[in-house]
Amino acid sequence: MFVSARTLLTAGAALWTMTAASASLAQEAAVSPPEAAPANDTGLADIVVTAQKRAENLQDTPLAVSALTAEVLQNRRVADISDISAAAPNLTTTITPSSTTNIAVHIRGIGESDPVLTVDSPVGIYVDGVVIGRTAGAVFDLVDLERVEVLRGPQGTLYGRNTTGGAVNFITAKPASKFKASQILSYGRFDYFQSRTSVDTGELGDSGLAFKLSYLHKQKSGYANDLNQPDKRDPGANNVDAFRIATQFDNGGPFRVDYAFDFNDSKSYSVPFQLAAARPDIIAYLRNSQALGGNPLVIGRDRIKTLRLNQGQLHDEVTGHTLTVEYDLTDEITLRSLTGYREWENSVARTDLDGNDGLRGFTVSPAILAPPNRFIPLGVTPVELFGASNNRSQKQVSQEINLLGKIGQTVDFVVGAFYFKEKARENNPQNLSLVLASPAPIPLGPGLTTSQFSVGLAPQLIYRHDSESKALFGQVTVRPFDRLGITGGLRYTEDEKDLNQTQPVAQARRLDAKFSQLNWAASLDYKFTDDVLFYARAATGYKAGGFNPRSVGGSFDPEKIISYEAGLKTELLDRKLRINVTGFHSRYDDLQVSQFLAGTGGASSVTVNAGKSTYTGIEAEVLARPVRGVTINATGGYVDRKFKSFIIRDAATNQLIDVADEARFHYSASTTANAGAQYETAVGFGQFLARVDWTYRSRIYFHPLDRLNPFNPVLSDGSVGRFDARIAVSDIDVGRARATVALWGKNITNRDYLYSGIDFGSLGFAGAVYAEPRTYGIDVRFDF
């Protein structure tokens, strides 16, 4: 099933050869530039979304949904889920430590940051309607994106469990009806290089068959300097090959088939992790390192550009199959089958989570930690505060059946069944050092003593996890009057989880649990005019419970939400101005919160049902074309988040206490905003475009409780606004092709901000991961 990078490179060359040959042979295929609005078009184009399982105008959809079209994706250079923070209000995405492919996605303050393979994300991620079961490994290149839809708020009726926060659906491009091809070459800072090839065969004769073949190669050096590695292995470096084949059968009859195979092979090095803070005794202990023949301690909260790390390669391999079959039972009713199969394999040769390599200190045998607590000195040896390797995999199959259509002119309906099954495993050996105080100074040499020593430990995390979900659902919209719509939906879900854990503690038996839930949604929409839609919606959602093997098989219950929202969607000034506004209030029960609590057992965390919380907020989206050639967009979101209860067990008293007044919402911002301006005009030899985007988020924290993670305030990242820009000239005539040349920059003001941070709790230190600094480059595109 899997193919090698060499095979992919050969395939890319073959695609490019096919492009050149087809361009000369397909005389009937017209040369056309990329799709764009005509230069004299002063109105806003319609955006079609499938948020309710059927194609409909974004402005007629009574949901809080945002969409990025193919044109916007190109102009903003969006390639994967890590690039979509500006897509919608109250949406944040960030890369998590020890990876380049693990993502934390939060919508309206709800998300999950722990990449452990047993904890589900409350934001569903989908590719062409197929759910991606894990956020770990979810950052993979999607070669042919047509649209991204972001649904905010619980989507429990149509999208199922684990969408209490919302859903993100990536829709890929289908094969075109006529031949076309494109080749994009890019080069930029940090030795960034990309080649992207796409070929559409068009319909083959009158068969109804068409194919789209795409290949991507991307590579770059890291953005922090690791003195132990060459540039191509610096932190954040990657080398990616991605391949996609899409097939469509549509001969105009009632039967249609779409099949796509995608493959992504990524070799990378973890984003740079630096030691940001530590207890005074740990700093004092490690400051002897250089005098003992080791490297000096490097520590600081500001961005550190040069590090010495003990990192190895990360290898991620993602394979996906998607099959969609549709049959029109009548002119108004369609039966649809959506089948998905996906695999993810991940290996981490080594990851460095202390930001230092080559430290040395006085160490003692682990025998001191257990009775009779013997003190066995090991002398001066290498010291590693925290490092790990990992081997993970996940396989999933999903099947969904939909019956959708109309009854007369007043009733739209969707009914369906859903099945999902996955198998996941993880083997995570770790190495850490526990720094302890010595009862008396320890001599280390002439004039050198230490009042601390460390104990080296090597815990492991090993488990296998199975998950199965079944559901029946339906939604009906009735329009008793032309301008009024009433929608109701139900979904019944059954989930089963099974954990087989062998480390850090072997379970006496396999842990299993079953959960079930009936969710509902109801909404009303009314069109005051053809261009003004009001809607009100109430919906429930649930996220399945399960087990967290990091906390020695600790279990947690499902979380439940009820959400109320009302919105207004408008198109004004002869379609020159679009304003969408939504207000919402959500109430959670048994909210699942992951708390990182590393200790002598390694990188552990607990997932607890913290209690009750509320989220009240507002969202606004504006899109305008005030004059010909000028487009302005803006979004803004604010969420007032409050814990009504947050119950933990006090370690000192062993009593349950409510710490709601001190708990924080982590990995998400209370305020987000985005604004962009684009100018287009014809020039003598093509079409000129200039665009600038500003993306803002307020302060974020990375842990919920300072009492358990005392460096949490130090790690918190203040508000940040980032500017991106792009200048392009397109539709340049170069014989049989049209060319586009674009200059682009991201984070052009070079703002420092964090992807993530970890406070290692009782181990006594914390680290941070800075996001990429300023990047820039050039794209050259040829369309045939």
What residues are paired with 497 via a beta bridge? 467, 513
For residues 53 and 401, the model is more confident at: 401
Tokens representing residue 562 in the block: 């009820």
Of 41, 65, 308, 24, residue with least CA distance to 169: 65
- Whether the per-residue pLDDT at 607 is higher than 70: the answer is yes
Task: Return the pLDDT at 605.
Answer: 66
Alpha carbon distance 640, 417 (integer Å):
36
Q: How confident is the model at residue 117 (pLDDT cuts 50, 70, 90)?
A: confident
pLDDT more than 70, % of the chain: 92
- Whether the per-residue pLDDT at 26 is higher than 60: the answer is no
Whole-number average pLDDT of the chain? 89
User: Of 135-149, 156-170, 240-254, 545-559, where does the model show the most confidence?
Assistant: 240-254
Of 370, 18, 341, residue with least CA distance to 180: 18
Does pTM top 0.85 for this prediction? yes
- Residues contacting 199, CB < 8 A, separation 6+: 15, 18, 19, 22, 180, 181, 212, 213, 214
Q: How confident is the model at residue 7 (pLDDT cuts 50, 70, 90)?
A: very low
Tokens representing residue 543 in the block: 């996220």
Q: What is the pLDDT of residues 314-340, one digit of tens each?
A: 999 999 999 999 999 999 999 999 999
**Alpha helix locations (H) across 607-728?**
712-715
- Whether the per-residue pLDDT at 664 is higher than 80: the answer is yes
pLDDT more than 90, % of the chain: 70
- Give 412-416's long-range contacts (Cβ < 8 A, gap of 24+): 412/54, 412/476, 412/477, 413/474, 413/475, 413/476, 413/477, 414/52, 414/53, 414/54, 414/158, 414/473, 414/474, 414/475, 415/473, 415/474, 415/475, 416/53, 416/472, 416/473, 416/474
Alpha-carbon radius of gyration of the chain = 27
Q: How confident is the model at residue 31 (pLDDT cuts 50, 70, 90)?
A: very low
Q: What is the pLDDT of residues 539-564, one digit of tens each?
A: 999 999 988 887 755 788 899 999 99
Mean pLDDT over 464-471 rounds to 95
Task: Return the pLDDT at 422.
Answer: 96
- Residues contacting 591, CB < 8 A, separation 6+: 559, 609, 610, 611, 612, 613
Distance, C-alpha 734 to centroid of its chain? 38
- Whether the per-residue pLDDT at 227 is higher than 70: the answer is yes
5-783, which class in CATH?
mainly beta
Task: Return the pLDDT at 34.
Answer: 32
Q: Which of helix, strand or coil describes residue 347? A: strand
- Whether the per-residue pLDDT at 146 is higher than 70: the answer is yes
Mean pLDDT over 342-350 rounds to 94
Task: Return the pLDDT at 506.
Answer: 63
Task: Return the pLDDT at 32.
Answer: 31
Domain spans of the chain, in order of start: 5-783
Task: Return the pLDDT at 602.
Answer: 62
Pair 485, 62: CB distance under 8 Å: yes
Task: Return the pLDDT at 600.
Answer: 61
Task: Return the pLDDT at 496.
Answer: 95
For residues 6 and 217, the model is more confident at: 217
Mean pLDDT over 733-744 rounds to 94
Task: Return the pLDDT at 765.
Answer: 95
Distance, C-alpha 464 to centroid of its chain? 23
- Whether the per-residue pLDDT at 611 is higher than 90: the answer is no
- Residues contacting 39, CB < 8 A, separation 6+: 628, 629, 680, 681, 682, 687
Q: What is the amino acid identity at position 573?
A: L
Q: What is the pLDDT of residues 475-512, one digit of tens each?
A: 999 999 999 999 999 999 999 999 998 877 666 567 89
Q: How confident is the model at residue 9 (pLDDT cuts 50, 70, 90)?
A: very low
Q: What is the pLDDT of residues 670-697, one digit of tens each?
A: 999 999 999 999 998 899 999 999 999 9
Tokens representing residue 15 in the block: 């695609």
Q: What is the pLDDT of residues 180-202, one digit of tens each?
A: 999 999 999 999 999 999 999 99
- Residue 703: phi, psi to the nearest 5? -145, 150
Mean pLDDT over 403-408 rounds to 94
Task: Return the pLDDT at 314.
Answer: 94
Alpha carbon distance 172, 246 (integer Å):
9
Among 26-40, 165-179, 310-324, 676-690, the range scoring the smallest mean pLDDT is: 26-40
Among 106-120, 274-288, 418-432, 721-735, the range scoring the smallest mean pLDDT is: 106-120
Task: Return the pLDDT at 208.
Answer: 94
Task: Return the pLDDT at 593.
Answer: 80
What residues are paired with 92 via a beta bridge? 106
- Whether the per-residue pLDDT at 164 is higher than 60: the answer is yes
Task: Return the pLDDT at 780.
Answer: 97
Pair 161, 471: CB distance under 8 Å: yes
Report the chain's terminal Cα–Cα distance, integer Å.
32
Task: Return the pLDDT at 655.
Answer: 82
- Whether the per-residue pLDDT at 376 is higher than 70: the answer is yes
Among 92-96, 538-542, 649-653, 670-674, the range scoring the smallest mean pLDDT is: 649-653
Q: What is the pLDDT of residues 246-272, one digit of tens each?
A: 999 999 999 999 999 999 999 999 999
What distance separates the 2 farthest-apart alpha carbons in the chain? 94
